[in-house]
A and B are shown apart, each in its own frame.
Chain A
Amino acid sequence: MAEKTKEQIKIGGIDETKYSMDTHLIYGKSVSDKWDYSHHVTAPISSSTTFRLDSVERGAQGFMQFANTEEFGDKAPIFIYDRLGEPNKDMLEENLAYVEKGEMAVSFASGMGAIAAVLGILTKPGDEIISHNTLYGCTLSLLSNWYPRYNIKWSPFDLTDPANIYNFVTPNTKVIYFESPANPNLEIIDIEVVSKIVKELNKDRSEADKIYVVIDNTFSTPFCQRPIEHGADFVVHSLTKGIGGFGTDMGGAVIGRKKFQDVLHLYRKDFGAVLNPKSAWSILTYGLPSLALRQRHQIKTAVRVAEFLNSHPKIEFVNYPGLPNRKGYETAKKQMIDFNGNFAPGSMIYFVLKGATPAESKEYGIKFMDYVANRAYTMTLAVSLGHTRTLIEHPASMTHSVVPPEKLAERGLDAGGIRLAIGLENPDDILLDLDESLKVI
Chain B
Amino acid sequence: MGFQTDAIHAGQNPDPVTGAVSTPIYMTSTYAQDELGVHKGYEYGRTHNLTRQSLEKNIATLEKGKYGIAFSSGLSAENAVLGLVKAGDHLIVSNNVYGGTYRLFELIMKDYGLDFSWIDTSNPKNVENAIKENTKIVYIETPTNPMLNLTDIRAISKICKDNNLICVVDNTFMTPYFQNPLVAGADVVIHSTTKYLNGHCDVVGGMLITNDDKLHERFRYLQNAVGAIPSPFDCWLTLRATKTLAVRMKQHQENAMKIAEYLQTQSYAKKVIYPGLPSHPQYELAKKQMSGFGGMISVDFGEFETAKKIMNNIKVFTLAESLGGVESLVCHPASMTHASVPKEEREKLGLTESLVRFSVGIEDVEDLIADIEQAVKKL
Contact = CB atoms under 8 A, between A and B. Distances in A.
A40 B28 contact: yes
A167 interface: no
Nearest to B233: A45
B18 A42 contact: no
Contact of B19 (A36, A39, A51): A51
A300 to B, nearest CB: 31
The A interface, classified by DSSP as helix, strand, loop or mixed, is loop
B39 A39 contact: yes
A39 B42 contact: yes
A52 B31 CA distance: 26
B25 A45 contact: yes
Interface string A22-56: 00000000000001111111111111111111100
A316 interface: no
Given A5-B34, A6-B34, A44 B42 contact: no
Contact of A42 (B28, B42, B51, B236): B28
A86 interface: yes
A3 to B, nearest CB: 10
A238 B308 CA distance: 54
B23 A47 contact: yes
Contact of A50 (B21, B24, B30): B21
B24 A48 contact: yes
B21 A46 contact: no
Nearest to A285: B27
Contacts of B40: 39
Given A39-B40, A52-B14, A47 B236 contact: yes
Interface residues of B, number: 28
Interface string B229-251: 00001001000000000000000
B225 interface: no
B20 interface: yes
A47 B35 contact: no
B19 A44 contact: no
A52 B21 contact: yes
B26 interface: yes
A35 B29 contact: no
B17 A52 contact: no
A48 B22 contact: yes
Contacts of B18: 35, 46, 48, 51, 79, 86-87
Interface in B57-110: none
Contact of B29 (A41, A46, A47, A50): A41
Nearest to B41: A39
Interface in B310-367: none
Contact of B20 (A38, A42, A86, A281): A86
Contacts of B30: 41
Given A79-B18, A79-B19, A45 B24 contact: yes
A253 B34 CA distance: 34
Nearest to B51: A44
Given A7-B34, A40-B26, A48-B18, 17 more contacts: A35-B18, A39-B31, A40-B28, A41-B32, A42-B29, A43-B27, A47-B22, A47-B236, A48-B15, A48-B20, A48-B21, A48-B24, A51-B19, A51-B20, A54-B19, A79-B18, A285-B27
